[in-house]
Each structure stands twice: as C-alpha cells, then as structure tokens.
C-alpha cells in the first residue's frame, strides 16, 4: 500500500521537531528528523578533522557512517546514533550549529541524504521535518506544512530550551546565530529553504505547540490516522 507522507519544513526554532514528534505519535507514523542527519555528518567531520572544503573526503566520510534513529525505552525520547555511538546531545553543540549549514550546502551531500530519506519514506508512513522535504525530498507528499515564527520568538524559545539544560544564553548573540543560519539555508544554490507551492503555512508566533498540532491534525483525513 502507498505510504503516507507528512512534510514539515521551516526555519530554525520554528517548532518543527517538537511538533513532528508529537504528531507522529498521534498518527502512528515514524518521525524522521533530517536535520539530525546533516548534524551527524557535521559532528563526524569535526571529530575526524576533515577539511570542510574537501568534498571528496566529506563524501567518503558520509558513505562510511550509518545514521540511525532509535527510541530511548526509559524516557520515550528519540535518540540519534552514528555507527552505534549515541550522538543525540553531541550534534546540538554550538560548533555543530555554526558549521552544519556549510555541510548542508554541498550538492553531493544532499544527493546522498535525499536518497536515504526517500528510502525510509518508501517503507514507512512518515512525518519528516527539515528544509527541503516538501520541495525536493518528497514532492508528492499527501500533506505538506511550512512552520514559521518571528525571529525574536524563535530565538526566545530556543534560549528557554537551552537555559533549561543549564546553558547561559546571550539572546542577542543567539538571534544573530539563528539569522545567519537561516540566511545560509534560504540563499544556498541547492534546495534552499522555501515553502513548497502546495504547503500549508502556519505562523506559530502567537500560538502554542498544542494549537499548532491541533491545526495540522485538522487537515489529516481520519482514514490516515493509524492510532486508535
Ligand atoms: O533544529 P534546527 O531547526 O535548528 O536545525 P535542524 O533542523 O537540526 O537542521 C540543521 C541544519 O541542517 C539546517 O540549518 C540546515 O542547514 C540543514 N538541513 C538541511 O539543509 N536540509 C534539511 N532537510 C534539514 C536540515
Ligand atoms: O525543530 P525546530 O528547530 O523547528 O524547533 P523546535 O526545536 O521544535 O522548537 C523550539 C522550541 O520552541 C521548543 O522548545 C518548542 O517547545 C518551542 N515551541 C513553542 O514554544 N511554541 C510553538 N508554537 C512551537 C515551538
């Protein structure tokens, strides 16, 4: 049977992963965080001291690593593994934040990532979040959404999240960091971040997570919900 695909794209901190995780649970689908795939490659390249301008070495590294997702049985949270190493927290480091958009701009990297992402979506009903999911990875997806919110609101939410983890945050610096990454993602040559022409755009600046999820679920046909 044809698998059902829900795509969630948008800029950094728009709420994609929080929304997608809960949505996937409620629909009974698999959640795929494609940003974590680019982050894992970036983390590995930093660790292996690969020169970011040496595309051949980056590709060699990418083809040598297996990126997998798994559930933490105790907490129910999603984990990311790189060749069996748990990299869930490591891929959210400030250094990875700074460098991931450089790796993500490389066409050869994107081509391999897109193949891997399509393969997962061929075998499972998925909620997949990222930057190019509705436009490039799954252009024929049944349901497409583009989440956005003001830069200030996104930065404040990110800051709150990081502060809860014990980091001390300079909000102005965080705003610049997010803006810089958004600019790199929207202005790159290959698969830039933009809403698909048939995506439903949701601005969450003034609505909470539950309201965003509720409005998305309103678009999903009852027959497509697997959870009783
Ligand atoms: O969580 P946050 O929105 O900050 O970022 P992410 O979704 O983990 O994505 C990290 C970076 O990976 C983005 O800034 C993009 O440069 C890249 N990315 C991409 O190019 N294409 C995707 N489908 C997903 C992420
Ligand atoms: O994945 P992405 O970078 O798009 O964003 P996220 O990591 O899911 O969301 C960033 C933070 O914003 C999380 O702490 C969410 O709980 C919060 N959020 C919110 O407070 N209200 C919303 N409507 C959406 C997200």
* Closest residue CA from atom 15 of ligand 1: 101
225 in any annotated domain: no
97 in any annotated domain: yes
Q: What is the pLDDT of residue 158?
A: 94
226 in any annotated domain: no
Q: What is the pLDDT of residue 159?
A: 96
**Environment class of residue 228 by beta-carbon count within 10 Å: exposed (0-12), middle (13-18) or buried (19+)?**
exposed
Mean pLDDT of the chain: 96
Structural domain count of the chain: 1
> Which segments of the chain does DSSP mark as H helices, in order?
16-27, 34-47, 55-64, 94-104, 107-123, 151-164, 171-187, 209-217
Q: Does the structure's ipTM exceed the value 0.95?
A: yes
204 — pLDDT class (breaks 50, 70, 90): very high
* Closest residue CA from atom 21 of ligand 1: 131
Instruction: Give the ligand whose atoms come closest to the C-alpha of residue 202.
Output: 2
* pLDDT per residue as tens digits for the range 123-180: 999 999 999 999 999 999 999 999 999 999 999 999 999 899 888 999 999 999 999 9
**Is any ligand 1 atom within 6 A of the Cβ of residue 147?**
no
Does 60 show up as a binding residue in the annotation?
A: no
Domain ranges, residue 118:
5-217
* pLDDT per residue as tens digits for the range 40-79: 999 999 999 999 999 999 999 999 999 999 988 888 788 9
Q: What is the pLDDT of residue 155?
A: 98
Question: Can you tell me which atom of ligand 2 is nearest the CA of 14?
Answer: 4
| 105 CA → ligand 1 middle, Å | 11
pLDDT at residue 228 greater than cutoff 60: no
**Is any ligand 1 atom within 6 A of the Cβ of residue 131?**
yes
208 in any annotated domain: yes
| 15 CA → ligand 2 middle, Å | 3
DSSP one-letter code for 91: G
User: The domain that contains 187 carries what CATH number?
Assistant: 3.40.50.300
Q: What is the pLDDT of residue 71?
A: 85
Q: CA distances (Å), 106 to each of 12, 39, 188, in order? A: 19, 13, 9
222 in any annotated domain: no
CA angle 190/192/197 to nearest 5° reads 120
173 in any annotated domain: yes
Angle between helices 34-47 and 107-123 (to 10 degrees): 130
* pLDDT per residue as tens digits for the range 19-46: 999 999 999 999 999 999 999 999 999 9
């Amino acid at each position: 049977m044809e698998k059902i695909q829900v795509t969630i794209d948008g800029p950094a901190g728009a709420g994609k992963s929080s929304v997608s995780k809960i949505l996937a649970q409620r629909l009974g689908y698999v959640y795929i965080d494609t940003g974590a795939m680019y982050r894992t490659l970036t983390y590995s390249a930093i660790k292996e001291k690969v020169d970011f301008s040496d595309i051949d070495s980056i590709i060699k590294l990418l083809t040598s690593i297996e990126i997998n997702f798994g559930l933490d049985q105790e907490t129910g949270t999603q984990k990311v593994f790189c060749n069996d190493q748990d990299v869930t927290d490591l891929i959210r480091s400030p250094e990875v934040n700074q460098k991931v958009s450089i790796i993500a701009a490389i066409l050869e990297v994107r081509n391999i990532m897109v193949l891997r992402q399509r393969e997962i979506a061929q075998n499972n009903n998925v909620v997949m979040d990222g930057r190019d999911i509705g436009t490039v990875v799954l252009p024929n997806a049944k349901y497409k959404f583009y989440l956005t919110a003001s830069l200030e609101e996104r930065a404040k939410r990110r800051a709150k999240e990081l502060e809860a983890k014990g980091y001390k945050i300079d909000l102005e610096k965080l705003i610049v960091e997010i803006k810089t990454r958004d600019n790199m993602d929207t202005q790159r040559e290959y698969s830039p971040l933009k809403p698909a022409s048939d995506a439903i755009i949701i601005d969450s600046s003034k609505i909470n997570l539950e309201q965003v999820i509720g409005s998305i679920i309103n678009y999903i046909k009852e027959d497509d919900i697997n959870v009783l």
